[in-house]
Each structure stands twice: as C-alpha cells, then as structure tokens.
C-alpha cells in the first residue's frame, strides 16, 4: 500500500527516472546472482576498492578516520578507507544473495549463548541493537538463532520500485515484520514488544534529534529510542555484531547489556545510549576496516567561510 501511494504521487518524469534506476538495479542483481556467493562477493569487493576512492565519499571517510585516529599516518588511513570500500562492496553483492547466505549455515559461527540462555529463561521480549559492521544485512541470523521473534526497522529509499524490491528480499528474515521509519513505526514496534516480541535497530546512525554521546573522543548524536523502550517496558537490551571472517563467512556475537535504572528517566536513557556506543567503539577498534566510515556520525564544527574580497 505504501509503495502504491508513493508511485501515484510521482510525476511522470520521476516515474521514468525511478523505473530506469530500477531496471539497472535488477540487471546488476541478475548478473550477481549468476555467480556463486563467494565469487560475487570477492568481485564486487575488488571493484568497489578500485572505483569508490575516486568518489567524494572517500574524502568523507578519510576525514572521519582522521577524527577517530588522529595519530594514524595518512597512508594507513588511506589503506583503512580502501579496505572499508572492499567490505561495503562485498555487502552490496551479498545483499542480492541473502537467500543463499541464509541457506548455508556452515558460513556462520555464533557466540551468543548468554543471550540465548537469558531469552529462554525470561521470554522473547527484547530490544536488539547492532551496528554497520561486518555484514549488517544478515543481522537477523543471530536473532533467529537466539530464538527471537524479531521486527526490524529500515530507512526507505526514495525510489519506491527499488525500495519494494529490496524490502521483499529482506523482510522474510524478520518474522515480526520489517518496518520503514515513519511517524507510526514507533507505536507498532512498542506494541510488538508488549506482545512478547523483539525489535532490532542499527543504532550507530546519527540522530540530530537524539542525545549526544562520546564516540572516539568526540561528541556524536545517537537515537535514544532503543534504551527508552528497554527501560520503559523492563525488557533486556541485547547488543550484537557481525564479524566478517574469511570472505563470505561470518561470526556473530551477542550479549545482554546492563542498563542503568536509577530513577531519573532521562539520565538513565542518556547513560544507556552512551554505554551502547562505548561497546560499539571497542568493537570498531577491533576491526576498523569493517565499519562504515562514510557515515556522518559526529557533531562536526561548521567550517568558516572565507570573507569576500573587498
């Protein structure tokens, strides 16, 4: 219904443009699916490593790496950024092969037993948070392994044709539904938790309307909603990550994160969100090439404009 409404609201020119983009997307997906998973992942990774550094986003990545690692030599920052692009290219290819990845459990190893035991003892209502590392497109796999009925949240694409196609590939792995961010999404997610389900977020994104937390020694904005839900409804917050091991093979880690419940609601939410980001930072430092450095996470100072010449 949402996609139909979006299409009806488009001008003929935008419909034509989005249709063209969709055709290209399907052609790329078709070519990728002609290859085995490992071959497609490797080929796309090498292609992105070669091409992406020529784009404007490469400069953004280098800027953010320098912010996080001020003592890192420029050559090492460049190496790290190129390795990041290779990981992102692999993710792009693997996204079109999600069904094959999920059908091959030998690709996965798990360190989630503490979270699994907690869920088995206390029930499946939970908030799950992760970050853009390894391959976040398969983050539903550890949630399934732990035994959660998970609902996911995603940022809808402007192109409704591409959005519908990609959502269809992803939503089958979220038994609680996959919801686009909107004004009504929060209400649906809360209802899912109150009904005994779990909700999952990629919680490392910037949120200018959220709270400010320390991240790599600098202020960064963050979404307080995961901690707010966990605290309000008394459910555990499970923090998890995906680590790329050998090519298209992955290791999952998940554990219950202790949240403050001191009585001051706002202070608890602030501190809980900061704890999440402290864990995120420690994980990123272990495998910095697997995080998405192109994202504008930090509160960056505004660059001063040069005064106009007299």
Report the chain's mean pLDDT, rounded to a whole number. 93
Mean pLDDT over 198-216 rounds to: 96
pLDDT at 302: 64
Q: Rounded to an integer, what distance in angstroms lies between the CA atom of residue 215 and that of residue 175?
A: 33
pLDDT at 87: 99
Q: Rounded to an integer, what distance in angstroms lies between the CA atom of residue 92 and that of residue 224?
A: 28
| Type and span of the H or E element at 231 | helix 225-233
Cα angle at 55 between 53 and 61, to 5 degrees? 65
pLDDT at 306: 53
| Cα–Cα nearest to 137, from 292, 8, 284, 22 | 292
pLDDT at 10: 84
CA distances from 214 to 259, 276, 278 (A): 17, 11, 8
Name the pLDDT band for 58 (thresholds 50, 70, 90).
Answer: very high
Say which residue, 227 or 309, is predicted with more confidence.
227
Query: Is pLDDT of 1 > 80?
Result: no
pTM: 0.92
Q: Rounded to an integer, what distance in angstroms lies between the CA atom of residue 127 and that of residue 197?
A: 9
Name the pLDDT band for 102 (thresholds 50, 70, 90).
Answer: very high
Q: Rounded to an integer, what distance in angstroms lies between the CA atom of residue 67 and that of residue 135?
A: 24
| Cα–Cα nearest to 80, from 225, 290, 259, 260 | 290
Q: Rounded to an integer, what distance in angstroms lies between the CA atom of residue 163 and that of residue 46?
A: 26
Mean pLDDT over 238-258 rounds to: 97
Residue 221's beta-bridge partner residues? 212
pLDDT at 48: 98
Residue 56's beta-bridge partner residues? none
Mean pLDDT over 214-237 rounds to: 97
Over its C-alpha atoms, the chain yields an Rg (Å, rounded) of: 20
Burial class (CB in 10 A: 0-12, 13-18, 19+), 87: buried
Mean pLDDT over 74-87 rounds to: 99
Phi/psi at 198 (5° precision): -115, 150
| Cα–Cα nearest to 136, from 194, 92, 176 | 92
Mean pLDDT over 45-72 rounds to: 98
Q: Encoding tokens for residue 104? A: 């091959």
pLDDT at 310: 43
pLDDT at 5: 47
pLDDT at 93: 98
CA distances from 308 to 301, 302, 303, 305 (A): 21, 18, 15, 9
Residue 178's beta-bridge partner residues? 152
The residue with tokens 């994104």 is: 205
**Percent of the chain surpassing pLDDT 90:** 86
Pair 273, 211: CB distance under 8 Å: yes
Pair 140, 152: CB distance under 8 Å: yes
Query: Is pLDDT of 6 > 60?
Result: no
Q: Rounded to an integer, what distance in angstroms lies between the CA atom of residue 261 and that of residue 272?
A: 9
Mean pLDDT over 155-183 rounds to: 94
Mean pLDDT over 110-128 rounds to: 92
CA distances from 224 to 129, 187, 228, 281 (A): 11, 15, 6, 17
Name the pLDDT band for 3 (thresholds 50, 70, 90).
Answer: low
Q: How many CA atoms lie within 13 A of 99 on its CB side?
A: 7
DSSP secondary structure code for residue 309 in this structure: P
Count of CB atoms situated within 10 Å of the CB of 112? 19
Say which residue, 1 or 186, is predicted with more confidence.
186
CA distances from 304 to 60, 64, 181, 223, 295 (A): 18, 19, 34, 28, 22
Query: Is pLDDT of 256 > 50?
Result: yes
Q: Encoding tokens for residue 162? A: 């591409």
Query: Is pLDDT of 289 > 50?
Result: yes
């Amino acid at each position: 219904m949402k996609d139909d409404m979006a299409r009806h609201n488009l001008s003929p020119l935008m419909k034509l443009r989005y249709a063209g983009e969709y055709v290209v997307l399907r052609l790329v997906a078709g070519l990728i699916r002609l290859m085995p998973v490992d071959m497609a992942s490797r080929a796309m990774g090498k292609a992105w490593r070669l091409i992406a550094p020529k784009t404007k986003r490469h400069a953004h990545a280098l800027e953010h790496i320098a912010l996080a690692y001020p003592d890192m030599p420029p050559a090492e920052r460049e190496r790290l950024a190129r390795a990041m692009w290779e990981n992102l290219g692999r993710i792009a290819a693997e996204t079109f092969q999600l069904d094959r990845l999920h059908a091959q459990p030998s690709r996965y190893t798990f360190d989630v037993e503490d979270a699994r035991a907690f869920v088995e003892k206390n029930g499946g209502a939970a908030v799950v948070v992760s970050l853009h590392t390894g391959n976040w497109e398969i983050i539903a796999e550890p949630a399934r392994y732990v035994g959660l009925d998970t609902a996911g949240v995603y940022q809808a694409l402007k192109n409704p044709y591409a959005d519908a196609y990609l959502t269809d590939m992803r939503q089958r792995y979220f038994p609680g539904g996959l919801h686009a961010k909107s004004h009504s999404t929060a209400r649906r997610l809360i209802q899912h938790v109150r009904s005994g389900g779990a909700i999952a977020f990629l919680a490392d994104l910037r949120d200018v309307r959220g709270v400010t937390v320390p991240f790599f020694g600098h202020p960064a904005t963050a979404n307080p909603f995961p901690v707010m839900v966990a605290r309000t409804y008394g459910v555990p917050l499970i923090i998890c990550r995906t680590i790329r091991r050998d090519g298209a093979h992955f290791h999952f880690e998940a554990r219950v994160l202790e949240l403050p419940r001191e009585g001051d609601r706002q202070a608890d939410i602030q501190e809980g969100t900061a704890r999440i980001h402290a864990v995120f930072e420690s994980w990123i430092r272990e495998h910095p090439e697997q995080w998405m450095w192109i994202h504008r996470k930090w509160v960056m100072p505004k660059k001063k404009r040069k005064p106009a010449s007299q």
